[in-house]
Chain A
Amino acid sequence: MIPETTGPVVLFSLPLAAAVVVFIRPRWSVAVTLASGGILLATALWVVVAVLRRGPWRQDIGGWTAPLGIGWTVDGLSAALLLLMAAVGLAGAVFHAARPTGRTPVRDPRFFWPLWLFLWGGLNALFLAADLFNVYVALEFVSIASVGLIGLAGGSAQAAAWRYLLATLLGSTIYLLGVALLYGRYAALDLALLADGVEPDLVTAVAAALMTLGLLLKAAVFPLHFWLPAAHGRAPPAVSAVLSAVVIAAAYYLLVRLWFGPFAPLLGPEVATLLGLLGAAAVLWGGLQALLQRHLKMLIAYSTVSQLGYGLLVFPLAAAGAVQQAWTGAVMLVMAHGLAKAALFLAAGAIVLRHGIGRLEALGGDQQGVVVAWVAFAIASASLVGLPPTGGFVGKWWLAQATLATGGYFWLAVLMLGTAFTAGYLWRALQAAMRPGWETSGGLQALSPALGLSALVLALGAALLGLAAPIAARLLDAGSGVAG
């Protein structure tokens, strides 16, 4: 029997090794990426099962222990995100492999596959990292790969990639300044070591504020979301999917890790309320902007700003006492959002290819070839809105219970209003399919069915997540560092 500790090693090294191979041998790109994607998905599932069976564990690379060595932690939260990455990574790769070549001018197509695998490896490293500096390196890794992938779309996407690069580098630098202060104060970088020793003093508070600010910028939390819509809206479809679903969730993951780990003593009502208000503003502003968009992909991109706001509601609710419910609910929402949002972007990618133009008014009429994509779009929408029995419903239900348990009716109102916005803008998109469309010349009749199917599988995943809610709750409880 192979020990579970092999799982993280595979998750970290396989994508990087595969990236090097496909860079040297571009001709093998699709085969190598899909094969390693399959292995990575199986490994992520195996790690999830292992966490469910034996609880979280920590492994030290090469036997060097902290503070000198580098450690990895695997618990319910990181296992869940590793699985999300594997699902989106594989589906996105299938989509990109099946896209009609020549029709969507991707500059330097041979760079897509190595960058895709590098991004995958960087995100896996981020979810495994157990110390603050490793997190910084992984964040930069992810930034570089994301910027490259956005820029591949050419044209105005390069300007969007530049804006994203500056925003994300500024975020990392501010984060690193916080790490420096924290190291000067405690001479430790390991999350577990810090969690034991942190005291609520001024230096720690400044460090926490800086690191949080940097991560909020990376998570595109209102009002720091200015870079997101252009970057996510203009990237190639598979890239938009992974950016919105996983890269944003990664910054959120770190916020949760920090504030429920080392910074837990600092999480007073004021800080928690501030973070919650930012989340509420994001939910409403993002929802409003999504309602006003004219392009399908921009609508979905603004929806990401809105949906991530829900995740921040965990802080005020947890500070008010409903830690377990708020925490499980928020993470469940972020997971369900990841699967649904990736499905939406892939479906939108297929639909835009079919009609040759992304304007909502142009998407009606003959839907031959993209019926499956619209079905996927509808199922993913149902999960984002939160219709039972989808994952989105379960997450919102748990969050709503947390608001009722703590008497936080303001947060409940935000939850309701955000849901109304979500239903509104997604209905606008779906309605576009039923109206007569424009006669466009750039559309394609013959699309590979794999385009719609890759979106459909992710959408079904988001829906089925709701049925698997008891398992998900047990997984997230597994050593999440949250006292129940």
Chain B
Amino acid sequence: MTVYLSLSGVLFLIGLHGFFTARNLLRRLLALNVLTTAVFLLFVVMARLAEPLDPVPHAIVLTGIVVTVSTTAVALALLVRIAGRPRDEDDDAVAGPRGDAG
């Protein structure tokens, strides 16, 4: 169990690092998904640690996955629109150098 707990922690740190360092918009979104996965893993570990075994965290993770799929879909749709239109100076503040929007 310690392994999974530390894995969740490491994943969380990787996600955070990616989120704050990536300049590519798609990479930042993926980093966010890694972050969410770390939290889901933590929930599952909690379920395993409980005595007796606890089904509630599984229900939570399932709901959470549905929520994450939806938010990711919205983010991707927005990303496609941002990438597909003429750029102005405001984008560069967000996206970094030209052509970096994935």
Contacts and interface: CB of A to CB of B under 8 A. Distances in A.
Q: Are A and B part of the same complex?
A: yes
Consensus secondary structure, chain A interface: helix
Interface string A42-66: 0000000000000000000000000
Interface string B26-53: 0011001001101100110110011000
Given A137-B63, A170-B19, A147 B79 contact: no
A165 B39 contact: no
A158 B57 CA distance: 35
Q: What size tier do the contact residues of chain A reach?
A: 20 to 34
A173 interface: yes
A184 B32 contact: no
A473 B32 CA distance: 42
Interface string B5-43: 000000010000001000001001100100110110011
B82 A162 contact: yes
Nearest to B50: A187
A180 B8 CA distance: 12
B46 A173 contact: no
Interface in A153-201: 155-156, 158-163, 165-166, 169-170, 173, 176-177, 180-181, 183-184, 187, 189
Contact of A165 (B42, B70, B78, B85): B78
B91 A147 contact: no
A278 B59 CA distance: 36
Given A166-B32, A173-B35, A187-B50, A144 B71 contact: yes
A230 B25 CA distance: 18
Contacts of B88: 155-156
Nearest to B35: A173
A468 B81 CA distance: 47
A403 to B, nearest CB: 38
Given A140-B70, A144-B70, 4 more contacts: A161-B78, A176-B64, A181-B42, A183-B43
Interface of A: 67, 133, 136-137, 140, 143-144, 147-148, 151, 155-156, 158-163, 165-166, 169-170, 173, 176-177, 180-181, 183-184, 187, 189, 230
6 contacts: A158-B81, A163-B94, A165-B74, A166-B28, A183-B43, A184-B45
